[in-house]
Structure 1
Amino acid sequence: MSTVVTGLGITAPNGLGTEDFWRATLAGESGIGPVTRFDASQYPSRIAGEVPGYTAEEHIPSRLLPQTDHMTRLALTAADWALADAGIDTSQLPEYGMGVVTSASGGAVEFGQRELENLWSKGKEYVSAYQSFAWFYAVNTGQISIRHKMRGPSGVLLSEQAGGIDSIGQARRHVRKGFPVVVSGGVDAAVCPWGWVPQIASGLMSTEDDPARAFLPFAADASGYVPGEGGAILVVEDADCARERGAERIYGEVAGYAATLDPAPGSDRPPGLRRAAENAIADAGLTPAEIDVVFADASGVPALDRAEAEALAGLFGPYAVPVTAPKSMTGRLLAGGAALDAATALLALRDGVIPPTAQVSAAAPEYQIDLVTGAPRERDLRSALVLARGHGGFNAALVVRRPVP
């Protein structure tokens, strides 16, 4: 049974909507800049990727505005766009045949912070009743499910940056069990003090104030990562069902998926990223030689970049496969990042072009990877490997394949 992606909805720091994002990504246009959603001047890290030009009132019904966070509004908008892109009218499908699986990190922290401030400064009478669920890490899944009456199997994956891939893998499981349509992927937004401080505490964030120098994955002068907001929602379907209903397009097949956990710190065992990649490639029925491009996790943290580069060189051979990190234009989007990379990989397969790693002139020589920089690289692409790592030792790998005509 083949599982395919028929719809994409993207809200990203360098593009609102799939085609705007894709145009900007191929042009190397970055959406990273100084934080504007709150006053970050007193924090050591002051750069982020923020979604531009988004006015919630233009996309979300007024009744939903009081009960939704910026994160959930972006997710609802992306889900609307993905379903429209897939040509799916949910009113024409059985409610219990459609599911929703998304990824999350810490939930709707901006909404939660505002209501807790009301509690501390004004009293419990000033706390919104919607605080009971609007902050919850499963809120995106719940609101998408309610809005589109999708009452089939639903869930949420909390594996930070790896979650977007994990959600797509879980969606494929549901499709294989007989549910024809699952909305999947992830959208996150934690550009607020409550979402900012825990990331600073990790010690992995860049403190560079120049947006062009703040996030340089695989570069010799990489200094950490830049957070961002946004992500992608994908419509995952059974291939036969998609063709029977006359789907206008199939972006690609979800051919392979795997997830691993890193060993405990201090262990002599190797990290689990390479094993996740190997297992996903095997799950797709392919060999490493049949992978045409890798969309890297690309941490921007030197030690983590080194570990990923060693895994890639060990699996494919030095400089053997093109590697790209378009998240250099968006920042790391927490639970939305891997879903956006998966969507980007599908667009790359569609158009036969590998987007560049912006701001980076070349990978550090010791990494021995063929990092695509400068300009897009045209290539006959049949399959792509997408990698992601989540804070806490999560690893996920996804293989997407060009659809068979």
Structure 2
Amino acid sequence: MNAEHQAGHGPTVTGRTAPNGDELPVVTGVSVAAPNGLGTEDFWAATRKGVSGLGPITRFDASAYPVRVAGEISGFEAREHIPSRLLPATDRATQLSLATAEWALRDAGLDPAAFGEFAGSVVTANAVGGVEFIQRELQSLWSKGPRYVTAYMSYAWFYGVNTGQVSIRHQLKGPSGVVVTGQVGGIDALAQARRRLRAGQRFVVAGGADAPVCPYGLTAAMTAGNLSTGADPATAYAPFDRSARGHVPGEGSTMMTVEPLGAARERGARNIYGAITGYGSTFDPHPATGRPPTLARAARIALDDAGLAPHDIGAVFADGAAEADADRAEAAAIVDVFGPLRVPVSLPKTMTGRMYGAGAATDVVSALLAIRDGEIPPAVGTAGLAEELGLDLVLGGPRPAALDHVLVLARGDGGFNSAAVVSRVP
């Protein structure tokens, strides 16, 4: 087990395990491009009100597909946000990454040039690659021939290209990377950012992006058998509900700037949204072994890392796979850690769909904003099974709450589990 996952090795707001509070990794800039809001405040205003961005697929004719509902971002014109020379060389996910990275830096009031080219790093999560770019080039290959496949195909599809393009655009030449762990990637990217800060990096741009809503992306996702075929956007994605039939895919990008607390205060950072105080990850054994899943263990590792007990947590932002077995397993993990009906559970992704590499990062931002504003956002589209499962699911509107610490959970296909604790900074 990585030392970062062991109890007592993470810096905390309470100071019980932090040798130096100035080293606490804090989020100083945030940006979200999501189906229910383009820009952080638009996204958060919709999320607090329970306004969903799910709807019939419009980016292509989906009439021949069993999946008809997705979370699509409206109003994003790439040419308005990135240089025109990059348009033919980038997938939609990369375009969203470039835009949100710039917005996060702007929100943080952080000018990379002021710190030297090796002071900043980039860590992003991506789950499906540049599927729309791949589709476009395959169409050129089969309809016109190989001479019509662009040289950009050599990298524009790649999982790591979002990190690369953000790094190039802002001249962030510190050690960077990409994590490819599906739905949990946004949390894992923040954990890697925390490691980079502990190694001496001045700041890190971290988050995730995916844009799977295209014929090739949808077809690839359908092979897993866990996409919802519901035609009504209001009920197609219903985690912890008897009608759960799988998830709705969503596109999006969320980026954050992460800095040591002392350095952020020294430069006069205008925003300190909160701290990343705990992280834990596990991998489930194969179902054929008969051994139980390990999400509860990941949550406990994150709590231990933060130096917190379950009663310190004011809310849980759940994963919400919307599959009967997965939902029951997640509910059992939450009850195992906290007890039945003991902690409010939020599911803002019911308003965006599962945004793959961007999903968990978006939940982290939602948790930080919930701490800031004292409100837990609701779940929408789900109704009937939560209490039976022992969950106090927030429904019908935001719930006022004084929050100091929030636990964010994420699960990915194949057994990935990650958990993060985000905390108020006094």
Query: How big is the shift at 1:265?
Result: 2.4
Q: What is the CA–CA distance in structure 2 between the aligned matches of 1:216 and 1:106, rounded to whole Å?
A: 23
Q: What is the CA–CA distance in structure 2 between the aligned matches of 1:261 and 1:244, rounded to whole Å?
A: 39
Amino acid at match of 2:133: F
Query: How big is the shift at 1:275?
Result: 0.6
Q: What is the CA–CA distance in structure 2 between the aligned matches of 1:190 and 1:371, rounded to whole Å?
A: 28
The aligned runs of 1:207-356 (5 Å cut-off) are 207-356=229-378
| Among 164, 182, 206, the residue aligned to 1:160 | 182
Secondary structure of the 2:248 match is coil
| Among 99, 115, 127, the residue aligned to 2:149 | 127
| Among 95, 103, 108, the residue aligned to 1:81 | 103
2:4 is matched with none
Q: What is the CA–CA distance in structure 2 between the aligned matches of 1:144 and 1:302, rounded to whole Å?
A: 38
Which range is displaced more, 360-369 or 121-130?
A: 360-369
Q: What is the CA–CA distance in structure 1 between the aligned matches of 2:65 and 2:32, rounded to whole Å?
A: 29
Q: What is the CA–CA distance in structure 2 between the aligned matches of 1:363 and 1:296, rounded to whole Å?
A: 15
Query: How big is the shift at 1:231?
Result: 2.8
1:396 is matched with 418
| Among 199, 207, 215, the residue aligned to 1:177 | 199
Q: What is the CA–CA distance in structure 1 between the aligned matches of 2:148 and 2:73, rounded to whole Å?
A: 29
CA deviation digits over 1:45-99, x for unaligned, max 9?
1110001111111111111111111111111111010000000011111211110
Q: What is the CA–CA distance in structure 1 between the aligned matches of 2:345 and 2:384, rounded to whole Å?
A: 11
Query: In the alignment, is the contact (CA less than 8 A) between 2:341 and 2:387 conserved in 1?
Result: no
Query: In the alignment, is the contact (CA less than 8 A) between 2:280 and 2:420 conserved in 1?
Result: yes
Query: In the alignment, is the contact (CA less than 8 A) between 1:113 and 1:194 conserved in 2?
Result: yes
Runs of 4+ residues over 6 Å off in structure 1 = none
1:150 is matched with 172
Secondary structure of the 1:227 match is coil
Query: How big is the shift at 1:200?
Result: 1.1
1:195 is matched with 217
Unaligned ranges ≥5, structure 2: 1-22
CA deviation digits over 1:147-173, x for unaligned, max 9?
000000100000000000000000000
1:42 is matched with 64
CA deviation digits over 1:366-385, x for unaligned, max 9?
21110000010000000000
Query: How big is the shift at 1:362?
Result: 4.6
Secondary structure of the 2:287 match is coil
Secondary structure of the 1:96 match is coil
Which range is displaced more, 18-27 or 187-196?
A: 187-196
1:107 is matched with 129
CA deviation digits over 1:341-377, x for unaligned, max 9?
0111000011010000012235444211100000100
| Count of matched residue pairs | 404
Q: What is the CA–CA distance in structure 2 between the aligned matches of 1:227 and 1:219, rounded to whole Å?
A: 18
1:19 is matched with 41
Amino acid at match of 1:92: A
TM-score (ref. length: structure 2): 0.94
Secondary structure of the 2:61 match is coil
Secondary structure of the 1:125 match is helix
Query: In the alignment, is the contact (CA less than 8 A) between 1:362 and 1:373 conserved in 2?
Result: no
Q: What is the CA–CA distance in structure 2 between the aligned matches of 1:234 and 1:315, rounded to whole Å?
A: 28
CA deviation digits over 1:323-356, x for unaligned, max 9?
0101000000011100000111000011010000
Q: What is the CA–CA distance in structure 1 between the aligned matches of 2:171 and 2:80, rounded to whole Å?
A: 22
Q: What is the CA–CA distance in structure 2 between the aligned matches of 1:364 and 1:19, rounded to whole Å?
A: 29
Query: In the alignment, is the contact (CA less than 8 A) between 1:97 and 1:180 conserved in 2?
Result: yes
- 1:3 partnered with 2:28: no
1:359 is matched with 381
Query: In the alignment, is the contact (CA less than 8 A) between 2:236 and 2:381 conserved in 1?
Result: no
TM-score (ref. length: structure 1): 0.98
Q: What is the CA–CA distance in structure 2 between the aligned matches of 1:33 and 1:100, rounded to whole Å?
A: 32
CA deviation digits over 1:178-235, x for unaligned, max 9?
1010000101101112111122111111111000010011112111100000031011
The aligned runs of 1:46-85 (5 Å cut-off) are 46-85=68-107
Q: What is the CA–CA distance in structure 2 between the aligned matches of 1:363 and 1:304, rounded to whole Å?
A: 13
Which range is displaced more, 143-152 or 364-373?
A: 364-373
2:15 is matched with none
Query: In the alignment, is the contact (CA less than 8 A) between 1:219 and 1:360 conserved in 2?
Result: yes
1:139 is matched with 161
CA deviation digits over 1:296-315, x for unaligned, max 9?
00111111111000010111
Amino acid at match of 1:243: R
Query: In the alignment, is the contact (CA less than 8 A) between 1:363 and 1:371 conserved in 2?
Result: no
Seq. identity, %: 56
Q: What is the CA–CA distance in structure 2 between the aligned matches of 1:358 and 1:193, rounded to whole Å?
A: 27
Query: In the alignment, is the contact (CA less than 8 A) between 1:361 and 1:374 conserved in 2?
Result: no
Q: What is the CA–CA distance in structure 2 between the aligned matches of 1:191 and 1:347, rounded to whole Å?
A: 27
2:11 is matched with none
CA deviation digits over 1:253-283, x for unaligned, max 9?
0000011101012112211111100000100
